[in-house]
Structure 1
């Protein structure tokens, strides 16, 4: 109950002490018309003797005996005036209840003397609107303090508002109503029905007369039906239908001469606010203008936007913003982070922050001095000066800068500018017997950003057996955009400006549950690989729609079910809203978090939007997908009034019992939305102990995936870095690695052996690693634990070993914090298990422990410190398995970061949006595996002729059946246009086996092609092979394999798979030495004495400096044991052709 002076504000209303008695109850007015007026003057008119002159207090209740303060209605109360409730002051769609009042009066005791009253005050202004009636009051005070005054302290009188202007409403049918808001027809009636989402009946829907101030006409009954008299069927009158949780719908009355109009209304679920477009980071010079925009959708649409600068709300009266914020004449103080917050009646949402950099007019837009960037040199280029195989070529950090902009004020700049290379110079590096050219960055500047394409690709397969999702449909924003192939593979180009990639995988064969995933992608371009695990649908069971049914939810053998669904009789509905009678095929697939292997199949990213608009994490206690169908014709059925019961004994953290809720997944946004609360309920089973359940109500409609979750606010971040090798050098960090953290739930008492997973998160590594969100606890180190793993293009990276003893220097975390975190690699207790993950306790850093202040665990409020942590700050590490391949580019380029591409005639890849990979297959008749090099130089282009593009070194792979034969798939630079797209260059390629070898033969078709496409390279040296690379994409018949893709790694992977297989359309992970060969060399029996690139790098003096040698890992290939060599050589992943097969990793 709310009022300027309400019953809640008046303590006298409830004071019953002293010599006072309550009167009888009075109810002289009813809430029709303007409201309910139980005023003292009117009561005295009818019951003069029953009310005293000066009541001390009053009490009001509805005729249903509900106290006025609990009705939620806006009412007014004053003991000297009475009680009144005005309909126009109530919330939209509500009117006043019918109230009765009583007064607290003094008992009949006469005072010995009487006081004297002062003068009456003036009457208060009449608060009535035009055409309305209200009350004025005046008061007086008792001037004698020692004696009581008899009579009224306050009195009221009725007053009328001003005369309303004449009604100008013209009615073609009927006549205007009293407030001139609509035309009314006495002889016409509207009958209707309202159904909510899923075609279920909608009881309690509000039917209003639409207008500037909608007027409530009626509410729908328990079947969703309603009846409204006197509404004119004039083609103009509009009804507004409202129901909580649904989108309001307007219905225009159709023209009709019938006495009755029948309407059928189906409401759609209201859409929560969702940020479609976040503001973009910008760089400006002082005095310029910047605009930030955010686009938020929902139903209803946002009714207010707010903008924040560094967390402080900007005044709307000063900046005059809506969804767009314009900042003019920028000053240095306006630099920082900006984000928007949109709200409507259902909630709020915040955008991601954008950074505004303000640069002084005299400052350079970019730091002209390049930062250090070490590249690895060939095996015969050891540098005595640095005592290593590394050389600093410098690089420019990819940052937004202020370029030459036009005068338009835009949300997105018409041209994006980034800091990049403005000057390079050639340096000659001294190697063994030759000079190696390299391009070194000498100056950075502001340039147009490199144009990039962003790809997500992967493999969709069953979580249990690995069966591929064949020809499954892939949906984004409700529209089908692609499908999987026969082997479940997919590749999708991420649309420009996509902020959050939400894809739903649908199996047309109905084998698998529809699966919605939020897929990470690299904002810097390139491809990110994802493995989509799908839950297999449970075999359906038959239910009778007219009987009560229970379905158990639980998948762990020997454990009690996690939860159950209870479906009352007659709860199934057809899609048209009719009650379904018959047999139902019910398939309920439950993802049990007690089974750790199901974590990879979890849907979405377990996030929701809180009341303040922040995206917050959930911790799951189980997801279930529901599919109800008519047994006869397979029609999908909905269900209402379903109960879900969660066994409270399965919730091992007692604090979660109070916050458990039921959620459903929005497949378009990938966010979870609240369906309802769960309440505690105790039941007693026959011959069994009393059990406690968390019980909630749900309806199964258009959404079919549900979640039992609790919001969790104990959060931290874990710092992880990925490396190219076990040297763990800063210059060897790898970007684009997908690092995943799975939060584990402890058993009761916070045991160190977790019993269930609760949440997973993935982050892509950047130039400074990745910070993964995780649940943590500051009271007990083992309250939460987690598994962490890393993947690059399908290749699993290895974690640092934890046995036979912990080495803090290699793991990257100092003691004693490392012991507190209980670091364990997955093979800690069993060497047969893969080495590709580690587990830790997520112990929140203590503010009193200096050794815990700088990572690797950071509290949630220190995300920025985690992201910007220096390399020497503690962190966890993964490394790629060192392979048998080495790449050198004269113009350095990071294939994990397409934005690092540089415009130069000597760039290996001439276009950053299209990557063409070329491989040649070479067969070696030799008892040993040998290293083969391709030396790639300009061949016919005048700007590059004779200049080096780069080197490729690759180790051959022994044939599985012939011990004296091996083969290698060797990359070379494709011929074609250079970066300026002006003229082609036929790359001059030399294939050089590094040993005592002689060229035996050249593929006849390849030789014929080269002869027919002049010029022809000279091939006088039989120890090598030279060619001007073909312009055409030749195939396996020539021994040449060419693939073009938007991502360099993908292009190489596909080409390697074809080369291994020796076909133009197949793929293999096993080298087929005799298939699709271009060149054959015969090499001497004596193995080359000169160390290969891989031996030299492993034995390099620089390696000892890093202190990262590990027992058993220094020499991965035991040359002395031919059987071991054969065993390790037979299989090699084409996704990572340099790594050993998974079986080999487990046995190493």
Structure 2
């Protein structure tokens, strides 16, 4: 009889890096225990390009009992193993494993029993084995002697292994780490874990009679969704412990391959070889799931070899517009830079995972060079050599404001938690500052409103350790107005009430379901507030908590797609104390689920505020209910308990994923050398209304990524069958400033957008002002079409399949990508000591450094008002003055164009940066920077702020101000405010300090922020600039048009220069209107020349 078999799914747990590709059966079983049978009948191996292993020409090994392996060393010269995936053929049957060993006799004396077990291996799960899983036999020992156990208190139990105190009771309570009581927890003792003694009640309390006070009993407690934990009983006291999981299995991985199982808690690598370099990761597992560590990268170097090359890398800086370099045929100059990579530490006698002091490849020596410009030379410091120096580790801060999404009301004095630790409060205007702990990879922050106006909000903030600080605007969802409920009666609360739309679902709370946090039942009036975050309202997407991710059974972080979030807040009417609800039913209308495959996958999730991950709460089942006599609605129904102040979510896991490539630039020229790092790019997944791709029905999830040196790759849902099945709304911001997207109208230009045709047409790129020029230009919308691997036009970005994330991250700037740019017209910055403000590790300690302190960046701006019809360029030239090391030497130049007033077009103003006065990098003495402010044009100074002038007079020395076309001062050391027209901000991030200072300067206040220039507020200087009118032709034009007249003018000019008085011209009185034409031309030209009439 032929045995019936079936193939498993395909497995690909390793990649061909390192020694080769190893798809071992043992490792596959570790990952996927339930998918592989005990004894596979056959095996099939193919490459990821679907080529059979036997047809690749590579040397491979495989068998059903061991799996598959391909070794790079065995391949022909110049080739390595392909990337293979395999599957096994398993019999469709149920078989018993071999019997295990007999157990020890159950008793040490007298008559007992022994047993042995076997397991049923069944494929598929619906098959069963015939027979018993356990066999029992009698065993006999010597007759039992009289029990010798002696009890100081109480009497001996029947097993003669403990004491019983009939008058004593062990009392206890079971709570979660958040203090919430856990009911129906199973209670047992450590030595008899399967004998359940009691269960906790609604308040989490339990009691075990007969336990003696001096026994130091260890109690085993097991609750649903919690790890079983042991606690020791304490006499006359209460025990409060944090539950810790007992790990059953641990595994280490090298480049995705499971290492030898003998490596347990600590991975020790001896006598390192080059092939051992790469990524290492740890995975721990218990009966409740798995979790993976953040990958660690190991770089292996030969003894004595340094990974810091003394030769600097190329680094181009942009020069002023009159500094064209013939050698490079450009306005750029190579100043060099060091890679800032980690240097290997010294190998001491002890074993350690980290060096006590970290060293990085940084600038070792700089030299001064001069750049030839038109009419002047520009000094610059160039990197001469690199070397290992102590790493510069910037302090990473998260700054921002927490405000209401509807009207901008600030969260005043709200509590801020990182994990379970309270780290501070928000300010009166909702501002906050959080320092990121050094070892933190994922920053989860919870905002709690003490006034109960807003829903508790959990945010996962992305950050960049090189940039020092980030700024975020946290939008808060206002709580729904509470309704009065009688706890003895049932209540139904609708979810998702929108004008013109059906509700998404409803909550039903059974009568007498409310109770206090200690488990005591509550009867009386309840103030119930259920706030629903409706994904059909795209304006509320920014208020969503967390990043919509969960951890699956294998420890991988996977995305969710939301159909709505809600927060429930129940309180006693009189005391306002928080209440909990036990019997709650949630109904979700299937009509709101537009993708039919999502109905079966729908789950109810709750947000863990400490980790920021969503945890599964409940499954759903389908039920049909009458809405009225003619209409029947289908609901997904789930049961839940509301015991904590958690946010709940109606979500489905989504596997159709891609990555979207986005870059940010300094200007709309989109020059490759002017890419911006540290820009927060946010992608919101939208679900379109059927038939209307431009009108999104709802948002499904969002992700934020910070741009690096090669842009950013944002995860998103996508679809291969329908390009418009998923669409996305993408924005970019630097602190409070929004960047503009590449234009899509009046005509979609692939060279501007950054995506070539025909893929651009398939993605249907639209900037937000595409159909209405009055709308903002700070976002774009696209179709998320999964690229077709067989279409060459879709393999070069900007959308990449999920498995091709490495291609997205490493894509060259010439590959397709979407673009944002900063809206800065005619702005230029030059530092004598080059510094990248988005990478604080590029700071160099030099007397001429614009920023003297790498841990604290102070930005200074002066506001200049310009009276005149034109927007003019204003320059600040900053030089050393009072410090002996920098006296007379240039620090840098700043240029900015004035911004015209929105109403009065004859007035404009400029916020001009200058180098602050203060200590230089050696912190030895103060330098009052000599700042010269010069408008470029026909301008004269007409006013100086009185307070500023008085301050400068009282703090000598005083700069010379003889030139009325400019203004000079010695930079104030004090942080003056808007009353002086000076704006100073100090921060750990230079760009953030500058953005805040510019916002205050535009607003004309010391604590406000604006992007609209208020020209009449907070000015320091006033200039009047006139437009030059062209009243005279050039010499060349005059010679070309009228040679005789031009020569006459030249002769007259020469005589005037020689101070030769010309002969008196005869004045002939011509009758009016009868002068000759030639005479009129001569007289008109004489008047044009501007010479005095003789």
TM-score by length of 2: 0.78
Measure, in 1, the Cα distance between the counterparts of 2:375 and 2:403.
52
Aligned to 1:12: none
Measure, in 2, the Cα distance between the counterparts of 1:727 and 1:492.
36
CA shift for structure 1 position 239: 3.6
**In 2 relative to 1, CA 335–167 (structure 1 residues): closer, same or farther, beyond 3 Å?**
farther
CA shift for structure 1 position 433: 1.4
CA shift for structure 1 position 691: 2.5
1:308 to 253, 256, 262: 253
SS in 2 for 1:429: strand
- Contact between 1:373 and 1:731, CA under 8 Å: does it hold in 2? no
1:434 to 367, 376, 394: 376
Aligned to 1:299: 244
CA shift for structure 1 position 776: 1.7
- Contact between 2:172 and 2:207, CA under 8 Å: does it hold in 1? yes
Q: Which moved more, 1:434-443 or 1:734-743?
A: 434-443
Deviations along 1:680-730, one digit per CA (max 9) or x if unpaired, are 222234403332211111000113310011111221111110001111111
**In 2 relative to 1, CA 901–565 (structure 1 residues): closer, same or farther, beyond 3 Å?**
same
**In 2 relative to 1, CA 1013–701 (structure 1 residues): closer, same or farther, beyond 3 Å?**
same
Aligned to 1:691: 633
**In 2 relative to 1, CA 407–718 (structure 1 residues): closer, same or farther, beyond 3 Å?**
farther
**In 2 relative to 1, CA 77–643 (structure 1 residues): closer, same or farther, beyond 3 Å?**
farther
CA shift for structure 1 position 748: 5.5
1:817 to 755, 759, 778: 759
Q: How big is the alpha-carbon RMSD for the aligned residues of Structure 1 and Structure 2?
A: 3.6
Aligned to 1:1023: 965
Aligned to 1:242: 222
CA shift for structure 1 position 565: 0.7
Q: Which moved more, 1:416-425 or 1:953-962?
A: 953-962
1:980 to 922, 932, 943: 922
Deviations along 1:211-261, one digit per CA (max 9) or x if unpaired, are 4867533446899787755433445334433322246566666769xxxxx
2:657 to 715, 718, 742: 715
SS in 2 for 1:658: helix
Measure, in 2, the Cα distance between the counterparts of 1:164 and 1:442.
89
Measure, in 1, the Cα distance between the counterparts of 2:952 and 2:136.
110
CA shift for structure 1 position 1050: 3.1
1:130 to 108, 117, 135: 108
Q: Which runs of 5+ in 2 are unaligned?
A: 1-36, 38-95, 117-134, 1032-1094
CA shift for structure 1 position 843: 1.9
Measure, in 2, the Cα distance between the counterparts of 1:683 and 1:210.
49
**In 2 relative to 1, CA 169–248 (structure 1 residues): closer, same or farther, beyond 3 Å?**
farther
Measure, in 2, the Cα distance between the counterparts of 1:373 and 1:248.
57
Measure, in 2, the Cα distance between the counterparts of 1:865 and 1:741.
19
- Contact between 2:467 and 2:678, CA under 8 Å: does it hold in 1? no
Measure, in 1, the Cα distance between the counterparts of 2:567 and 2:958.
65
- Contact between 2:879 and 2:890, CA under 8 Å: does it hold in 1? yes
Aligned to 1:916: 858
**In 2 relative to 1, CA 495–425 (structure 1 residues): closer, same or farther, beyond 3 Å?**
same
**In 2 relative to 1, CA 593–266 (structure 1 residues): closer, same or farther, beyond 3 Å?**
farther
Aligned to 1:452: 394
For the pair 1:475 / 2:455, whether they are aligned, the reply is no
- Contact between 1:799 and 1:835, CA under 8 Å: does it hold in 2? yes
SS in 1 for 2:600: coil
Q: Which runs of 5+ in 1 are unaligned?
A: 1-8, 10-74, 79-85, 90-123, 138-154, 257-262, 272-297, 1090-1148
Aligned to 1:100: none
Measure, in 2, the Cα distance between the counterparts of 1:644 and 1:348.
29
CA shift for structure 1 position 630: 1.4
Aligned to 2:74: none
Aligned to 1:465: 407
CA shift for structure 1 position 814: 1.9
Measure, in 1, the Cα distance between the counterparts of 2:692 and 2:103.
68
2:316 to 364, 374, 397: 374
2:502 to 560, 569, 585: 560
Q: Which moved more, 1:967-976 or 1:745-754?
A: 745-754
1:703 to 645, 648, 654: 645
1:335 to 277, 290, 311: 277
**In 2 relative to 1, CA 980–167 (structure 1 residues): closer, same or farther, beyond 3 Å?**
farther
For the pair 1:888 / 2:830, whether they are aligned, the reply is yes
SS in 2 for 1:467: coil
**In 2 relative to 1, CA 854–419 (structure 1 residues): closer, same or farther, beyond 3 Å?**
farther
1:843 to 762, 770, 785: 785
Measure, in 2, the Cα distance between the counterparts of 1:219 and 1:721.
58
Measure, in 1, the Cα distance between the counterparts of 2:1006 and 2:567.
42
Q: Please show how residues 795-834 of structure 1 align to structure 2 within 5 Å.
A: 795-834=737-776
Deviations along 1:262-283, one digit per CA (max 9) or x if unpaired, are x9x9999xx9xxxxxxxxxxxx
Deviations along 1:327-380, one digit per CA (max 9) or x if unpaired, are 333221111001111223322111111211112236431344444433222232
1:990 to 932, 942, 948: 932
TM-score by length of 1: 0.74
CA shift for structure 1 position 411: 4.1
Q: Please show how residues 598-677 of structure 1 align to structure 2 within 5 Å.
A: 598-677=540-619
**In 2 relative to 1, CA 584–436 (structure 1 residues): closer, same or farther, beyond 3 Å?**
same
Aligned to 2:986: 1044
Measure, in 2, the Cα distance between the counterparts of 1:912 and 1:77.
68
Aligned to 2:47: none
Measure, in 1, the Cα distance between the counterparts of 2:349 and 2:446.
42
Aligned to 1:278: none
1:582 to 524, 529, 549: 524
CA shift for structure 1 position 561: 1.1
SS in 1 for 2:752: helix
**In 2 relative to 1, CA 632–418 (structure 1 residues): closer, same or farther, beyond 3 Å?**
same
SS in 2 for 1:326: coil
Aligned to 1:775: 717
Aligned to 1:149: none
CA shift for structure 1 position 552: 0.7
Measure, in 1, the Cα distance between the counterparts of 2:339 and 2:683.
28
Measure, in 2, the Cα distance between the counterparts of 1:570 and 1:266.
31
**In 2 relative to 1, CA 732–163 (structure 1 residues): closer, same or farther, beyond 3 Å?**
farther
Measure, in 1, the Cα distance between the counterparts of 2:113 and 2:312.
78
Measure, in 2, the Cα distance between the counterparts of 1:843 and 1:164.
78
CA shift for structure 1 position 794: 1.7
- Contact between 1:427 and 1:437, CA under 8 Å: does it hold in 2? yes
- Contact between 1:196 and 1:266, CA under 8 Å: does it hold in 2? no
SS in 1 for 2:793: helix
Measure, in 1, the Cα distance between the counterparts of 2:724 and 2:1015.
53
**In 2 relative to 1, CA 201–415 (structure 1 residues): closer, same or farther, beyond 3 Å?**
closer
Aligned to 1:117: none
1:791 to 733, 749, 765: 733
**In 2 relative to 1, CA 856–215 (structure 1 residues): closer, same or farther, beyond 3 Å?**
same
Measure, in 1, the Cα distance between the counterparts of 2:253 and 2:630.
58
Deviations along 1:748-802, one digit per CA (max 9) or x if unpaired, are 6896754211110000001110010111223332222211111111222111222
**In 2 relative to 1, CA 365–189 (structure 1 residues): closer, same or farther, beyond 3 Å?**
closer
**In 2 relative to 1, CA 417–865 (structure 1 residues): closer, same or farther, beyond 3 Å?**
farther
Measure, in 2, the Cα distance between the counterparts of 1:196 and 1:1060.
51
Aligned to 1:210: 190
Measure, in 1, the Cα distance between the counterparts of 2:982 and 2:743.
41
Measure, in 1, the Cα distance between the counterparts of 2:588 and 2:286.
33
